[in-house]
A and B are shown apart, each in its own frame.
Chain A
Amino acid sequence: MSLRNSTSGPIKTVSFHQNWSAYAFLAPALVILFLSLLLPAVATLLMSFTDVSFLKPTSFVGFDNYIKLFNDTRFQQAVGNTIHYTIGVTFPTMVLGLLAAVALNQKVPGRMAFRTIFYLPVLTSLIAAAVVWAYVYEPYAGPLNGVLTRVGLPPQPWLQDPSLAMNALIIMAIWRDFGTAMIIYLAGLQDIPNDLYEAARLDGAKGRDIFLRITVPMLSSVTFYLLIILIVQTFQVFGAIYVMTQGGPLGSTETVVYQMYQTAFGYTEFGYSAAMSTVLFLTILAFSIIGTRIMRRKDV
């Protein structure tokens, strides 16, 4: 449905009374959105030009926070880590989600059970999932190293080794997210008209050709939408890192939101944290706007 549809009705003059009652309906929600989203977005921007903290009086510092930010090697590492995480999670999640959706869009035995199982991790609270995976990765008593030992492979310090920790977090995130990708792809698959497949089969097309020439192209806008959602979401990763690694070892899993949290509540540098937040916000906003454009063009 187009976002603009409802506004195309006849425009009548609106009485004072109609305005009054409409705004009475809207008021509670608008106050909450103002306090929880609009004001914070503006406040972040303003704060990023100050050195606000609980420790000393606030003063205006211009672009100092941003200059500091772009020369801060720790922030650069966090940006690098966040991009590593985002790419590492996004693509495997989409591929696995697509494969699962294509498989379960057919009449295979137990398809509802499979769907339910693949969707279970999505429902699990992030913290429960993180705690369970912290146990799975536990080096001395954890099941993963247990299995490796049984099949004769060396155990690994999954979350303690700087070269492994980020990938360990990525595997957990794929486990948790691919159910979402599957569900969205399933919805997309159901929108593909059956005639296309029947015509292709009449022309003698084989399964792989049908998949690559019909299914994948017909899903392109769903794919793009999913890509945006996953990028926006993985850019903001925080909870799993807080529980499993606290940004360590050696800063190898410190992401932008984790560093933002540390800067604000660990070092009470709210101004500097706001500058990080603004950079993150603008990046995510850019991706969201692209995503919305795509959604509108498709007129979902």
Chain B
Amino acid sequence: MTDLAQPAAMERQIAARGRKREFPRFDVMNVIGYLLLLFAALATVMPFLWMVSTSFKGDQEIFRFPPSFIPDGLRWQNYLDAMASPDAGRQLVNSLIYALGSTVSNLIFCSLAGYALARMQFSGRNLIFALVVGLLMVPAQSQIVPVFLIVQKIPFAGGNDWLGNGGTGLLNTYWGMILPTAATPFGIFMMRQFFTRIPMEYEESAKLDGASPFTIFRRILLPLARPSLAVLGVLSFQSAWNDFVWPLILNSHREMATLQIGLQLLQSGPDARWNVVMAMATLITLPVIIVYLLAQRHVIDGAVTSGVKG
């Protein structure tokens, strides 16, 4: 895993910092502390290393006890088996549609709402902002049952009548998956905080020229918001890509399963093989780690301000 962390780039950064200030003085306590740090790092990556190691093992090898850390050979067949497992392609498509749909809608809806709350004068603004802050505190997991019932009762969807009865609503649909995650109080709050910080002068001349609020938003403020949108985008993608509970409850049809559900089905299935399961787990974990390494600084900043995680 560590070779993914672009050691060369990091060493350069560290070297650049090291020149400014010296490393801590060499003494016994520092050496012990550093050894503990190394031990903690090793303990942290160990499950990942076992995941990758087992993903290359043969069908007999996985039952050997005690298991050996180095596999006998690199058996890429496990990865092909994981990808060829029934529905894996469909699950990838489902995960991508869910994650991208949720990300794009969050970017649009949260920035629109955040802009209105930060920079537009209208009656009820304080009330709506208080509502958004209040909803930040609603624990999502405790709401899964009523959200399920509401999504099932959306009028005119899935054979429902205008009162929402008779059909299956948005159960087992992409719309049903995306809708409840399409805007979050956190996203609105974050965009609102960002837009508040931009000086009013940016849009005043455009206002004098008679530009509409949407034009000002689209042409002037949205381009300034790129870094915040990047954070919101990565966090939204990560949370939908890693989501398990909502797709699990919403979708009873096998063809609507996402990769996370697929991994759980693969692991709990009657013919589960640890090597193929670990190959699948590796394939699911890698994209998020790569996205993170590319956008590291932004994501960590976002995670700090939000305290929200995937």
Contacts and interface: CB of A to CB of B under 8 A. Distances in A.
A111 B38 CA distance: 11
Given A44-B145, A116-B296, A184-B304, A29 B121 contact: no
Interface stretch (A68-76, A134-142, A161-169, A213-221): A134-142
Contact of B5 (A113, A175, A225): A113
A294 to B, nearest CB: 12
Nearest to A23: B122
Interface string A11-24: 01010001101110
B123 A112 contact: no
A26 interface: yes
Q: Is the interface of A mostly helix, strand, loop or mixed?
A: helix
Interface in A267-300: 270, 273-274, 277, 280-281, 284-285, 288-289, 292
B44 A117 contact: yes
Interface in B64-100: 64-67, 69
A39 B309 CA distance: 24
B162 interface: no
B238 A123 contact: yes
Interface in A146-168: 146-147, 149-150
Contact of B185 (A33, A109, A140, A280): A33
B202 interface: no
B150 A12 contact: no
Q: Is the interface of B mostly helix, strand, loop or mixed?
A: helix
B142 A25 contact: no
Given A135-B54, A243-B264, A124 B288 contact: yes
Contacts of A30: 113, 128
A40 B150 contact: yes
Contacts of A261: 144-145, 249
B141 interface: yes
A116 B242 contact: no
Interface in B19-40: 21-24, 29, 33-34, 37, 40
B279 to A, nearest CB: 11
A119 B217 CA distance: 35
A66 B47 CA distance: 42
Interface residues of A, number: 105
Given A5-B196, A143-B50, A284-B139, A12 B121 contact: yes
Contact of A236 (B122, B141, B197): B141
Nearest to A274: B145
Interface string B143-158: 1111101100000000
> For A28, A107, A116, A119, which residue has the most chain B Cβ atoms within 10 angstroms?
A116
Interface string A208-250: 0000000000000000011001001001101100110000000
B56 interface: no
Contacts of A79: none
Contacts of A25: 112-113, 115-116, 120, 213-214, 217
Contacts of B116: 22-23, 25-26
Nearest to B21: A107
Interface in B127-143: 128-129, 131-133, 135-143
B158 to A, nearest CB: 16
B122 A32 contact: no
Contacts of B143: 36-37, 40-41, 44, 277, 281
A121 B41 CA distance: 11
Interface stretch (A84-92, A125-133, A197-205): A125-133
B205 interface: no
B17 A107 contact: yes
Interface of A: 1, 3, 5-7, 12, 14, 18-19, 21-23, 25-26, 28-30, 32-33, 35-41, 43-44, 47, 96, 100, 103-104, 106-114, 116-129, 131-136, 138, 140-143, 145-147, 149-150, 175, 180, 183-184, 186-187, 207, 225-226, 229, 232, 235-236, 238-239, 242-243, 257, 260-261, 264-265, 270, 273-274, 277, 280-281, 284-285, 288-289, 292
The 8 closest A-B pairs by CB, nearest first: A146-B66, A22-B122, A125-B242, A40-B146, A29-B113, A25-B116, A236-B141, A36-B180
18 contacts: A5-B196, A14-B123, A19-B123, A21-B120, A25-B115, A29-B112, A108-B23, A109-B23, A112-B5, A114-B37, A122-B310, A123-B285, A124-B48, A125-B284, A132-B51, A146-B65, A232-B139, A265-B249
